[in-house]
A and B are shown apart, each in its own frame.
Chain A
């Protein structure tokens, strides 16, 4: 009976911990197996502790070059999608123009469409145009599907922005350019940053569209997929763990900064 009562009181905490565990367990396994020294080519069974893979992350041929390529594509795709997407979002919220409604719904097509369909149709397009598949076709495809996410993120922010703020800036002698740089952009920044992060993550781990349009180029997700057919090098776990740690560090850093800011204010 006492146990049941204890359970009732702590149910929310327990449910929360279970959910967290559910979310984090895959990461734990990935991290754990990055210290494995597997027998044979597959890293699916725990053998013994080893830091071999950590000391030589590029030890597998093709891994680090595919990682570099993926990071490059993610960087440029993020930049392209963020700049274009932010501009589209501003245009959609701030201006009334012909076909505004159509643009508004068309921009969501890449989000709603099955990726395989989009991948296949892009490939058809590229082949018909006679474009050489590779870095550029991947980049074009990535910018295309990242756009709608950026537009959504920025639009939400711009819509919640009081138009009087810009009027106030104009009233205080800021011309259109100054108003944009000094007021509109800083206020929209969190939305733009969210859109950029989303774009980076989506581009970095996209497999389906990339696989269709890459030609002989190999990105990191394609490398992982390819090697999984023949055997999984421990280095993949090392890269995965490293990315996870970097992401967590980013989050922690931003939390520390915003905490310190709010303390300063108080």
Chain B
């Protein structure tokens, strides 16, 4: 039967080896190796149709892999039906049983495993998700956020080795989503169960997960801690899908020490070699990336005040939108027609209005390099839709 205690061993590891799924001619998931360590909060992030939900469903047993093996700890569960796997799922749109009340929804898993006295456990679980008062209501009488918590309680009460979450917050409004992100994170820390979370919301993945795997077209593009993925994207897809990136086409000019010097639109840019994932042969093309919040904006008249050693690009403000904490500028530059710059609203320079000539500058340490052979727009919003 299912072990209801979560021990500090590797029984909560999820290991996928060579797992793939094809439907006819369409490959939803290319052969994939993935290890999710026991007790971690793992996010599968990608646009719709990237294979993340299929991967999740293969762990749950709701989808049979075309090839490969699913391990839970040391147990091969590839051929086990879902009702024999020590794994529970929080479904997209929750899939609460409409004919049962909240108490019975939460008790469902315990009862199916033949546990007789469920009252205490169910009540404790409803307390954990702060729904003790609602036990006798039907699902449709609860708000979206409450239904979501019931779905989590219904899965967690079984003490699964792994909890799978399939876009669990997708149906909630923004404010509630933020609240539930923290709530889920709190619950995960409290119960220490491995969480595998599928989402298309990059902010959600970064807020909640210890490790994020960015998926694109049935493959994992990059895997790592949120900050690492954000600062050091290895592909244009990751650079564009996680937040916003400015990508500038440049040519390798020379190497000096640990830096690479590049030519872009007549100017020179410096990039630490350690932060470039592309091969750098002199004369070869590289995409230079920099995040919008790392860039400072100075009016062209004050260009002389910019300290030496910073990467510089000139341009003209095409658009400025004030959004409270910051102002987002779109800059038309010879090296790139649309550069994004986010400036904190600390000391606002009244001259920085559309039409003004400006100099963009940033520290070379904040620059990353990508292989120029890729699609520069991969993972941008226009492409994702």
Contact = CB atoms under 8 A, between A and B. Distances in A.
Interface stretch (A36-44, A95-103, A135-143, A162-170): A162-170
Nearest to B137: A265
A183 B111 CA distance: 13
A171 interface: yes
Contacts of A167: 62, 82, 89, 91, 95
Interface string B79-102: 001111001110111011111000
A265 B88 CA distance: 29
A179 B137 CA distance: 22
Given A172-B158, A187-B99, 12 more contacts: A162-B93, A162-B95, A164-B92, A164-B93, A171-B82, A171-B83, A171-B89, A172-B112, A172-B155, A173-B83, A187-B98, A265-B141
A173 B60 CA distance: 12
24 contacts: A162-B93, A164-B93, A165-B95, A165-B98, A167-B82, A167-B89, A168-B95, A168-B97, A170-B61, A170-B62, A170-B81, A170-B82, A170-B83, A171-B82, A171-B83, A171-B155, A172-B108, A172-B154, A174-B83, A175-B81, A179-B83, A182-B112, A186-B99, A265-B141
A18 B158 CA distance: 59
Contacts of B109: 172-173
A178 interface: yes
A178 B112 contact: yes
Given A170-B81, A170-B83, A171-B88, A165 B97 contact: yes
Given A167-B62, A265-B137, A265-B138, A173 B113 contact: yes
A173 B112 contact: yes
Contacts of A178: 112
Contacts of A169: 97, 108
A126 B84 CA distance: 51
A266 B142 CA distance: 11
B112 A171 contact: no
Interface size class of B (residues with CB under 8 A): 20 to 34
A164 B89 CA distance: 11
Interface of A: 162, 164-165, 167-175, 178-179, 182-183, 186-187, 265-266
B95 A173 contact: no
B285 to A, nearest CB: 47
Nearest to B89: A171
A171 B62 contact: yes
Contacts of B2: 173
Contacts of B89: 167-168, 171
Interface in B305-321: none
Nearest to A165: B95
Query: Which of A165, A170, A179 has most chain B Cβ within 10 Å?
Result: A170
Interface in B47-104: 60-62, 81-84, 87-89, 91-93, 95-99
Contacts of B81: 170, 175
Contacts of A170: 61-62, 81-83
Contact of A183 (B82, B97, B113): B97
A182 B83 CA distance: 14
Contacts of B92: 164
B77 to A, nearest CB: 13
A162 B83 CA distance: 18
Interface in B108-156: 108-109, 112-113, 136-138, 141, 154-155
A149 to B, nearest CB: 24
Contacts of B99: 186-187
Nearest to A167: B62
Nearest to A172: B109
B60 A171 contact: yes
Query: Which of B2, B61, B98, B154 has most chain A Cβ within 10 Å?
Result: B98
- Report the 6 A-B pairs with minimum CB-CB distance, sorted nearest first: A172-B109, A164-B95, A168-B95, A173-B112, A170-B82, A186-B99
Nearest to B88: A171
A241 B96 CA distance: 44
Contact of A174 (B62, B98, B112): B112
